[in-house]
Amino acid sequence: QYMLQRTQDSDENVALEACEFWLTLAEQPICKDVLTAHLVHDTTTSCRDTTTSRRDTFPPAQGDVEEDEAVPDSDQDIKPRFHKSRTVTLAHEEQRGGDGDGDGDDEDDDETLSDWNLRKCSAAALDVLANVFREELLPHLLPLLKELLFHLEWVVKESGILVLGAIAEGCMQGMVPYLPELVPHLIRCLADRKALVRSIACWTLSRYAHWVVAQPPELYLKPLMTELLQRILDSNKRVQEAACRSFSTPPKACRLPRGGLGQLTGGRHAGVGAQVRVTGETGGPGGVLWGPGGSGFGPPPGDDDNSVTDSRDDGEIRTCLSSVATALQSGFLPYCEPVYQRCVTLVQKTLAQAMMYNQHPEQYEAPDKDFMIVALDLLSGLAEGLGGHVEQLVARSNIMTLLFQCMQDTMPEVRQSSFALLGDLTKACFVHVKPCIAEFMPILGTNLNPEFISVCNNATWAIGEICMQMGAEMQPYVQMVLTNLVEIINRPNTPKTLLENTAPCKSSISSLLFSPPAITIGRLGFVCPQEVAPMLQQFIRPWCTSLRNIRDNEEKDSAFRGICVMIGVNPGGVVQ
């Protein structure tokens, strides 16, 4: 009762501290028993608090300006703020955001943490309560929610849309009967005159993506995609960004209908026809980054492609396109060439600028490599999504030469994304990777350094993929990597501080650091048992313990086959 009273305190700092109590309580087994009697009060308070803190939600310079597309981006705006280098894990098939939460809400940057307020905390409280009480929450919430969603005052309506998104995960089953009415209402809100309403509608619709895509496409998906594409062209940058993030969600959540993106959206918006302005050095519009052209993704017009300058939304768009490519697979082929080429060009120009800076630091500026990292990760997404179809693109480009340079970059995040791309290209088109193996393997071996956990992780994974393609031809390279892998798998748990300081990932140490070495050792033994089996006694115990909690998949299967072959060669190694 005290916490319920303080959640309504006139001092917002006190109210925020009290609101956070519900987040902690929801994690306890007793939550449901002790809160049931107070559920109506708590739900009502949380809903009301999502409408407060208007001045804290967005600074006036950002949130209250309805049309800001012509306002030049600051340097901080232009950086790909939400993107973190790709890390390959076994616990999750793909992890680009680094959180491993799978829903794309990867917002743990400093800016977002500093903006934590009562409104966001109240929405988070509703989210956790919905996951505890499930459909039991709805009788208390629905009357209030209806009042909020259809309110004439935009601030109130916006908070209702936020509440609807917050309860999506926990109350999905109970909400299904209401979605045929609510989803069209949300799609109409995408065209609201207020930018904040359009922005939050993008997010809430992405939370119900599973349901939308399960319905006949003509009913909801087609109008939703059409309106989302309009929002990517919105006059407000925050809405553009929200639309890009929302567009990423359905492909990750579920497979889009067959027939390709062009048929789905039609007209000049074939594909993600997003005209995102590039701010040139003079501050004026520098051209179109991803423009609608020919078959979908047109190349930038004119000569503006000679600049490495990119839009603040570019990271969002590339992350979005990566999701789309992975979901549509070969259906993305008509749109992939300009996207692929743009990424290769960006990597090439960034490397050239870095070389000029290293040679003449007094004459040239150091390049911002964040854009190159995003480009490498999108190339990974294309390779993963297109599979063997990416071969023709690789054949017509110098990506392997560029990859050789990126793998030796001084910035760990560049190496991390490079090794992820190498692994994906190995799976998709090994014919182009094989001629480079003699040059690549020593670099991979030197990056088996657990001080850079994510770099080490991705290098290890790439070695394992190369193993499976090379077969017995891997023999000359086994000793180059085996000693380091055995040393890593025998290390005591890496200190938590090291994990926090060097890795953008929050995965558990067991899946992040120890499993890839275990998988790769098993795969090395599968293709070259005579070389690896003599060391069996040095790694068999940590090998077994590190893999027992990893879900079964093809990588684990191949590693266990390797162990079986090695036991046949050296049974004495497992006697103890």
Give the per-residue pLDDT at 72. Answer: 66
Q: Are 151 and 157 in contact (CB under 8 A)?
A: yes
Q: Which has more confidence, 564 or 506? A: 564
Summarised one tens digit per residue, pLDDT across range 390-415 is: 999 999 999 999 999 999 999 999 99
Residue 304 burial class via C-beta count within 10 angstroms: exposed 0-12, middle 13-18, buried 19 and up: middle
Give the per-residue pLDDT at 275. Answer: 38
Give the per-residue pLDDT at 41. Answer: 82
Highest-pLDDT range among 61-75, 229-243, 345-359: 345-359
Sequence-ordered list of residues with C-beta below 8 angstroms from that of 30, at least 6 positions apart, any chain: none
Residue 291's DSSP bridge partners are 298
Sequence-ordered list of residues with C-beta below 8 angstroms from that of 376, at least 6 positions apart, any chain: 86, 343, 347, 406, 414, 417, 418, 420, 421
pTM equals 0.62
Indicate if the pLDDT at residue 251 is higher than 80. Answer: no
Mean per-residue pLDDT over the chain, rounded = 78
Radius of gyration of the chain (CA): 25
**Confidence category of residue 74, pLDDT binned at 50, 70, 90:** low
Give the per-residue pLDDT at 278. Answer: 29
**Confidence category of residue 327, pLDDT binned at 50, 70, 90:** confident
Average pLDDT on 369-384 reads 90
Give the per-residue pLDDT at 470. Answer: 97
Query: What phi and psi, each to the nearest 5 degrees, are found at residue 542?
Result: -60, -30
Indicate if the pLDDT at residue 508 is higher than 90. Answer: no
DSSP code string of 23-86? HHHTTSTTHHHHHGGGHHHHHHHHHHHTTS-HHHHS-HHHHS-S--TTSPPPHHHHS-TT----
Q: Are 163 and 50 in contact (CB under 8 A)?
A: yes
Average pLDDT on 39-59 reads 67
What is the distance of C-alpha 359 from the center of its chain?
A: 35
Q: Both tokens of residue 496?
A: 């938590």
* Spatial distance between the Cα atoms of 230 and 280, rounded to a whole number of angstroms: 24
Architecture per CATH, domain 1-55+115-248, reads as Alpha Horseshoe (1.25)
Q: Both tokens of residue 442?
A: 């020593």
Give the per-residue pLDDT at 550. Answer: 80
DSSP 572: G
Average pLDDT on 25-54 reads 81
Helices assigned H by DSSP within 115-191: 118-133, 138-149, 154-166, 168-175, 179-189
**Confidence category of residue 47, pLDDT binned at 50, 70, 90:** confident
Indicate if the pLDDT at residue 524 is higher than 90. Answer: yes
What is the distance of C-alpha 221 from the center of its chain?
A: 22
**Confidence category of residue 173, pLDDT binned at 50, 70, 90:** very high
* Spatial distance between the Cα atoms of 303 and 287, rounded to a whole number of angstroms: 9
Q: Both tokens of residue 298?
A: 């047109």
Average pLDDT on 491-500 reads 43
Q: Are strands 285-288 and 277-279 parallel, antiparallel or unpaired?
A: antiparallel
Give the per-residue pLDDT at 334. Answer: 83
Percent of the chain with pLDDT over 90: 53
Indicate if the pLDDT at residue 572 is higher than 90. Answer: yes
Give the per-residue pLDDT at 354. Answer: 95
**Confidence category of residue 105, pLDDT binned at 50, 70, 90:** very low
Sequence-ordered list of residues with C-beta below 8 angstroms from that of 91, at least 6 positions apart, any chain: 100, 507, 508, 511, 512, 515, 550, 551
Indicate if the pLDDT at residue 24 is higher than 50. Answer: yes
**Confidence category of residue 270, pLDDT binned at 50, 70, 90:** very low
Give the per-residue pLDDT at 547. Answer: 86
What is the distance of C-alpha 39 from the center of its chain?
A: 35
Indicate if the pLDDT at residue 384 is higher than 90. Answer: no
Average pLDDT on 127-142 reads 92
* Spatial distance between the Cα atoms of 159 and 49, rounded to a whole number of angstroms: 9
Phi-psi region of 513 (alpha: psi -120 to 50; beta: other; left: phi over 0): alpha
Indicate if the pLDDT at residue 88 is higher than 70. Answer: no
Summarised one tens digit per residue, pLDDT across range 275-307 is: 333 222 222 222 222 333 333 343 333 333 333
